[in-house]
Structure 1
């Protein structure tokens, strides 16, 4: 069954549209399970009825005509119960409903499995048999697995619009919603420009072209390029390979011949398909044919065909990239965005970013926040390769993407974009004003930085200091560890840019989702592994070089603060301070006269929460990393969209932990700040101020909104809200109650500009 399942999945994924995929499934599942009938019913959201969309075994004329409500028939029962139904005698079940046009009275046994995608029932997959018998566990498991596969296919069809025309009304589903991870706040409405990963045949979409001659010329150039590469490679390796191995290159050249692959691709291009799509179609057909062969030697040839296809695709992509057109409102989409891709878009045209991989803390997300571009990361379910050229909406507040949005939705989000623009203009007036509450409480607002692009943005927004400078960013953009001199130059620039305001530099924080290509860390569970201070304490040479560079960079400025990441206990602080003191002594011995800067720790793991007071005795300040602390307290990977709903910094446990840290630090007379997404959420900032945090540090984009809101409330009111929220045991209710309380005070306009669309 596993081998059969793999073959069906391959065929379904290669199907050109939803109709083809459904036909393949009903045919192959019926044959695999040796049943007389296999049918697919899809839930039409307009009518809320399950419509027969494909069948093998029932009367085909009933497709699109037979439908039932969720409270009707066995199909409706499977859909509403959201679990398989296995019956030996379907007709005797009280929910059995007879449809004369299907001829299904002849079939006794019934097995149905719901098709579910992200908790949403999309349809039901059914097999039926004439004789009365119970389907066994293996057959039931097979059908459930197939329905899970079909769920992804349907969701992708919704996104790309290929589902249209398949339902009874011929309208289909006009828009689809995909959930990722918020990368950078804001809303972008525009057209998708997909940047495909280099030479990955499987993600190349179909695309109709009008200039067929141009595509044929592109393909001929690619053929010539690969032929030349093969000949050069064969010549270079001629002394190292035996004759039979050398013959492989001759086979490659034969396959490239006009009578072989070349001719097939050319034929498809002439039908109106672009060269890349035609190449994918031909190569994948050959690959599947080879992979299904019984002979082991012939199966291996699939790899040769795939390799040849990739080489041709690389040439085609190179030519395509050179003539890529970016519309006025470009939303850049890729499997994994890179800063270089962002740089290719002409200035003023980039309105949104979508990355299938990556997290809210990835380099691209940090850059996007610095640039103020709405971004969604981790959109793993988006069929990104097929959305090129279609209309999209990027909601960076909620981490949501809308494909083929309706005119109504475009207008609603367009209004949000305009409101944001007006709000930003209005907030500019606050730049030179202090963040002071109505009853005179001063709340310093600092920024998180990592790139020089952040500096200008932070200063434009009126930042009073840097609460977190991510020193790993210069390490990540390098191809080797930067030298002490190189680091000194980077740190000096940052310190001088904000002087005399304080700049808090976090020592190197890699591991988890932050990798260095030249210092790979391979672990099964990286978030609970070797990361943060654990890495640099194990490599004191990295720590000493970095802190020496920091100390030297602060000469004559004296606005440096050093912060230690991922501290889980007092012993790590003691070890770090020993190394810091050593670096300080070495720098002073070189004649650099600088005082020892304040040293602090980041509270990011539960153990540090419980030791907050002990840690406070060892350091000059404490800073809470709200992103990681929430992740570790709730045991939720914040970069995983599957559990995104569970990651919530308004969770009562998180709020209690934050209060415990503040109380512990203040008991020792040590100031405590907080950095991370929570500090940049205006509503959350009110609570944090009420808890007693001394400083809030956030991305520069959100700083004016936070400042505006805090200037509209009193410290007393903020403390009152903290007490009210502590009585609530549900994070969603805390969200609602807090936002309602602020709206009742007339302060709802900066909390969430896209909230009205969501509701």
Structure 2
């Protein structure tokens, strides 16, 4: 075999560039046969009951269609064992089964590897040789690597003439995107994929540049039309989402990046793909889940631009009964797809990719539509198939039976009653049954998120991420531009506290216009306050902008990320004094804001006692703190299942933080996933946490939970939980207690 990497790249590209599913799948087996010198290459796809359907074969006459019953033969063994089977004489193996009409007996050399996606076998790749021959370890490793790539695309390839059984009640597991239950008919969202665009040259650079400028205008007009189509359904809460897309379109960063690629001689689609990948990768590399999710918005916009370039029109209404409920399904579902369906007809959204923080999920939530994202596998479905979307549990049920359908309809009625109860406490504070008040604030980072937080009853902003204006530009934003952005947030929450985090870049959050050397371990590297203190002019401008934006409002609180040493805090406080003095000398009527630290680095915990006279408050960054304490990256699929913020070690350390802050007389709040986890919230209430910050979508349910329990009961549960040594025991303890109190809606 030649260069494995080159062969692998060629095979994967052959799939992306083929016109039809049949051609795609056939190109795969032909290319593999040639790459490793095999006489036969076959690709099987898993169907129901673990049956294996032969979807493509090269080098062997096969009966059509060919379906191997679940677990049959060596192919079944590969699927069951989820490991390669490499044999020099297949017929002597006890699992070998002769298939009538399939002359595999003439090919003793057998190597089969499983195609696994998210732990589930979705197919099997088999190569055969005419002689007794066991493929080399290098070739076996190559096939395994190739199989991991094929597993990602096989689920989307549907060759014609292949009978894929369609069982009822097919349950698919994903992640919760937006709450609720919906039942409707599938509408598959098919769009051109910018990722598959090859590198091609342009004939006329100036003409192509002008074509790019015209395309920006066209798509901007499309977004305006789509926004107006939805405003009536979700009100002003979704206007900001479309404004964010317009901001990306109008910003010179994207415009200049694409134009620069065109001027190197690339075609418009090639230039657009490279630019979108560049900005998408910047966000995708971040650990902050909110910022990471912005890569989806950039890719959605890139695909929309590409679709418009190809002459695509707005998504058309679903054919057939225009009054029937619709579930949008696709690898990605864009806000444009949502805008094409009347609000009263949209029953749900299902995405193979994505997260609950994407604008697709945020928009659907504003519309009251359930969403399931990141599903394990996109099953075989057609337009018109019935689908249940359970956004409360992250499950999807394809072709439900009448019994299942009716059960879910009962759940929908129950859910609506629960939402009515939440509406009844809107505007009321989160006070426990024994009179303890806990402030509930929202997390945000985009102007698009302001209205949803206010509508949900947020009492302020517990974490405003300032990074995005810095990351979507081609240079540092100036002081005036930052003042305008910050002023909108502070004004929207006038009379309520807004905790603005200073720029938290470096490490995993790279600025496109600032060269930053790659780091072996960015989580422990040059990020947060370490970065800004090494870039004092940048920090000075940002702090000046924050304070100027708060004139007359005086609701600004400055939050410092990743503080781990006293000298870091002292340097910032000296800088803050300088800024306040400068602004007063310049005639601004300002007040110096309160300053606090985020406890994310474990080293900060023991130093809080030394900082008590330097800071005004403490905010626990539960996501990073949990990761550092557990040495687990929650975004690493290999270890993410071990991550849980109610781990005993995390609970004991947060309890220690609360004890220290009480001793020092410092207010303490918590932001991160713990603040919207019902089990964690009960335990945090028992600790005496005074303020919780979360996404606006979670706020009403957490308020209802707090108003339904007493702090005394929560403290008793905490005392029991701190004696337990496993996450599962802690969760079971609290969930059972909530169930007994009639609060089961939050623990499903």
Give the TM-score range, shorter chain. 0.7 to 0.9
Q: CA deviation at 1:473?
A: 4.7
1:507 pairs, out of 494, 499, 502, with 502
Contact 1:178–1:379 at 8 Å: present in 2 too? Answer: yes
Q: CA deviation at 1:705?
A: 0.8
Change (3 A) 1:697 1:7: closer
1:423 pairs, out of 418, 430, 433, with 418
Change (3 A) 1:366 1:457: closer
Change (3 A) 1:410 1:547: farther
Give the aligned partner of residue 449 of structure 1: 444
1:706 pairs, out of 693, 702, 705, with 702
CA distance in 2, matches of 1:453, 1:142: 46
CA distance in 1, matches of 2:313, 2:53: 46
Residue by residue, what CA displacement relative to the aligned partner does 1:598-645 show, whole Å, maximum 9, x if unpaired? 211112233334544444453111101223333444444445566543
2:204 pairs, out of 227, 230, 235, with 230
Change (3 A) 1:728 1:120: farther
Residue by residue, what CA displacement relative to the aligned partner does 1:478-534 show, whole Å, maximum 9, x if unpaired? 665454444445444444443433222222334466565555756456544443323
Give the aligned partner of residue 727 of structure 2: 731
Q: What SS is found at the alignment partner of 1:572?
A: helix
CA distance in 1, matches of 2:619, 2:400: 44
| Residue 562 of structure 1 pairs with residue 558 of structure 2 | yes
Q: What SS is found at the alignment partner of 1:464?
A: coil
Contact 2:197–2:269 at 8 Å: present in 1 too? Answer: no
CA distance in 1, matches of 2:269, 2:556: 54
Q: In structure 2, list runs of 5 or more residues that go unmatched.
A: 211-264, 275-303, 319-324
CA distance in 1, matches of 2:55, 2:338: 42
Change (3 A) 1:235 1:671: closer
Give the aligned partner of residue 140 of structure 2: 140
Contact 2:181–2:392 at 8 Å: present in 1 too? Answer: yes
CA distance in 1, matches of 2:271, 2:711: 67
Q: CA deviation at 1:679?
A: 0.6
Q: What SS is found at the alignment partner of 2:662?
A: helix
| Residue 544 of structure 1 pairs with residue 546 of structure 2 | no
CA distance in 1, matches of 2:206, 2:78: 61
| Residue 689 of structure 1 pairs with residue 685 of structure 2 | yes
CA distance in 1, matches of 2:530, 2:171: 43
Give the aligned partner of residue 308 of structure 2: 317
CA distance in 2, matches of 1:82, 1:665: 51
Change (3 A) 1:726 1:577: same
Change (3 A) 1:491 1:61: closer
Q: CA deviation at 1:98?
A: 3.6
Change (3 A) 1:483 1:424: farther
Q: In structure 1, list runs of 5 or more residues that go unmatched.
A: 204-225, 237-301
Residue by residue, what CA displacement relative to the aligned partner does 1:532-582 show, whole Å, maximum 9, x if unpaired? 323322222232233233334444444332211222332221111111121
The structure with the larger Rg is 1
Contact 1:378–1:639 at 8 Å: present in 2 too? Answer: no
Change (3 A) 1:465 1:59: closer
CA distance in 2, matches of 1:497, 1:63: 63
CA distance in 2, matches of 1:653, 1:610: 15
Residue by residue, what CA displacement relative to the aligned partner does 1:175-223 show, whole Å, maximum 9, x if unpaired? 684757x6655567776685957966549xxxxxxxxxxxxxxxxxxxx
More deviation in 341-350 or 8-17?
341-350
Q: CA deviation at 1:584?
A: 1.9
Give the aligned partner of residue 217 of structure 2: none
CA distance in 2, matches of 1:17, 1:512: 42
Aligned ranges for residues 179-328 of structure 1 at < 5 Å? 179=174, 202=197, 230=204, 317-318=308-309, 320-325=311-316
CA distance in 2, matches of 1:642, 1:451: 31
1:675 pairs, out of 671, 689, 712, with 671
Cα root mean square deviation, aligned: 4.8
Give the aligned partner of residue 116 of structure 1: 116
Change (3 A) 1:394 1:585: farther
CA distance in 2, matches of 1:305, 1:555: 46
CA distance in 1, matches of 2:621, 2:366: 19
TM-score normalised to the size of structure 2? 0.72
Change (3 A) 1:572 1:370: farther
| Residue 150 of structure 1 pairs with residue 141 of structure 2 | no
CA distance in 2, matches of 1:522, 1:195: 39
| Residue 628 of structure 1 pairs with residue 624 of structure 2 | yes
Residue by residue, what CA displacement relative to the aligned partner does 1:108-154 show, whole Å, maximum 9, x if unpaired? 34322222221112333333344334332233223323433432232
Contact 1:165–1:171 at 8 Å: present in 2 too? Answer: no
CA distance in 1, matches of 2:116, 2:382: 22
CA distance in 2, matches of 1:497, 1:706: 22
Q: CA deviation at 1:461?
A: 3.2
Change (3 A) 1:713 1:374: same
Give the aligned partner of residue 260 of structure 1: none
Change (3 A) 1:714 1:405: same
Aligned ranges for residues 13-162 of structure 1 at < 5 Å? 13-15=16-18, 20-46=23-49, 48-56=50-58, 60-61=62-63, 63-64=65-66, 67-70=68-71, 73-157=73-157, 162=158
| Residue 599 of structure 1 pairs with residue 595 of structure 2 | yes
Q: CA deviation at 1:583?
A: 1.4
More deviation in 405-414 or 34-43?
405-414
Q: What SS is found at the alignment partner of 2:430?
A: coil
Change (3 A) 1:233 1:558: closer
More deviation in 585-594 or 475-484?
475-484
Give the aligned partner of residue 719 of structure 1: 715
CA distance in 1, matches of 2:331, 2:133: 49
Contact 1:176–1:405 at 8 Å: present in 2 too? Answer: no
Q: How many residue pairs align between the two structures?
A: 652
More deviation in 56-65 or 556-565?
56-65
CA distance in 2, matches of 1:512, 1:388: 44
